[in-house]
Structure 1
Amino acid sequence: MSQSIEQLLDLQQATLVSLSRLLEQEKAAIVERKAGEISQLATDKLALIHKVQQQDHLIASHPNREQLTASQDLAVRVEQIKTTVARCKEINEVNGEALQRAQLSFHKLNNLFQQSRGKQQMTYNSEGVAQNIRSLGTNIKA
């Protein structure tokens, strides 16, 4: 039995609400820097987005799709869905920017560590020329 256009709209709205909640969880995981959780949420997010796309295809190919504009009730529901989609896009963009900032911070910190490590390994030879020595003190035979 085929689903009615109303059932498909309800399903689409429920999936988008789930996606919105998941995006909020993703935002919290980004703030708390929980890499494992961020990765799992990203996988779940892609699955929900795929589900939204499938539902959208079912709605677009439904034999009663013309009712979406003809019926005032259905038109209102479509607008609610569009509003939820816009909210999801906005949260996702914020999350993406936060992830980019976190990644930049990580790279800066990593560079500082590498620079610090390089300074600890620097020494001078008998001619006064600076050298990076990785084995400094490890080849002593006492």
Structure 2
Amino acid sequence: MSSSVSQQLLNKQLEQLTALEQLLNDEKELLTQRDPEALNTLTEQKKVLLEAIEGLDANISKNPQFLADKAQNLLDDSLEEIQATLLRCQELNVINGQVITHSQLAVERMKTTLLERHNRSSMTYDNKGKKHAGLSSLDIKA
């Protein structure tokens, strides 16, 4: 049965996508835990896996037996399962992107708050009662 080669290729692709889905779940967890070292390691693993997925996908799309089996609708169930897994991966990737965006916004808000507090605490007055922003207004160059 020639479709077994096609099925093996699709099984391998599903296995890779399932591993990617797990990495994306792990990535979300690391993003919420704010663990940059573990996140760097996971990002490298994800990069290697994505390259493997891309390579296998290119091989599958050029495989004449796969194309023939697909045309005969022999692989519909496997292809649907792969598509569903791929959609879950895309959704997780969007969620992780939102977590990153929210984290960046939180850092910016914190930075702004710290700068505002610093500026308020460094406010001084001259001998005429006029406000000056800390030591920088005194032209001290030391």
Q: TM-score range by the shorter chain?
A: 0.7 to 0.9
Q: Is the 8 A contact 1:123 1:133 kept in 2?
A: yes
**AA paired with 1:70?**
Q
For 2:35 and 2:57, the matched residues in 1 are separated by 32
For 1:68 and 1:14, the matched residues in 2 are separated by 19
Higher helix share: 2
Question: Which residue is equivalent to 1:109?
Answer: 110
Name the TM-score, length of structure 1 as normaliser. Answer: 0.85
Name the TM-score, length of structure 2 as normaliser. Answer: 0.85
How many percent identity over aligned positions?
Answer: 26
Q: Is the 8 A contact 1:69 1:75 kept in 2?
A: no
Name the SS of the counterpart of 2:129 in structure 1.
Answer: coil
Alpha-carbon offset, residue 71 of structure 1: 4.3
Q: Is the 8 A contact 1:23 1:91 kept in 2?
A: yes
Question: Which residue is equivalent to 1:84?
Answer: 85
Question: Which residue is equivalent to 1:63?
Answer: 64
For 1:88 and 1:69, the matched residues in 2 are separated by 26
Task: Could you tell me which runs of 5 or more consecutive residues in structure 2 were left unpaired when the two chains were aligned.
Answer: none
Cα distance change, pair 44–134 in 1 and its aligned pair in 2 (3 A):
farther
> How many residue pairs end up in the alignment?
134
Q: Which runs of 4+ in 1 moved over 6 A?
A: none
For 1:69 and 1:52, the matched residues in 2 are separated by 22
For 1:129 and 1:91, the matched residues in 2 are separated by 55
Q: How big is each residue's C-alpha offset from its partner over 1:32-71, in whole Å with a ceiling of 9 and x where there is no partner?
A: 1212222332232222222211111100000212202414
Question: Which residue is equivalent to 1:125?
Answer: 126
For the aligned residue pairs, the C-alpha RMSD in angstroms reads: 2.1
**Larger RCO: 1 or 2 (CA < 8 Å, sep 6+):** 2
Question: Which residue is equivalent to 1:39?
Answer: 40
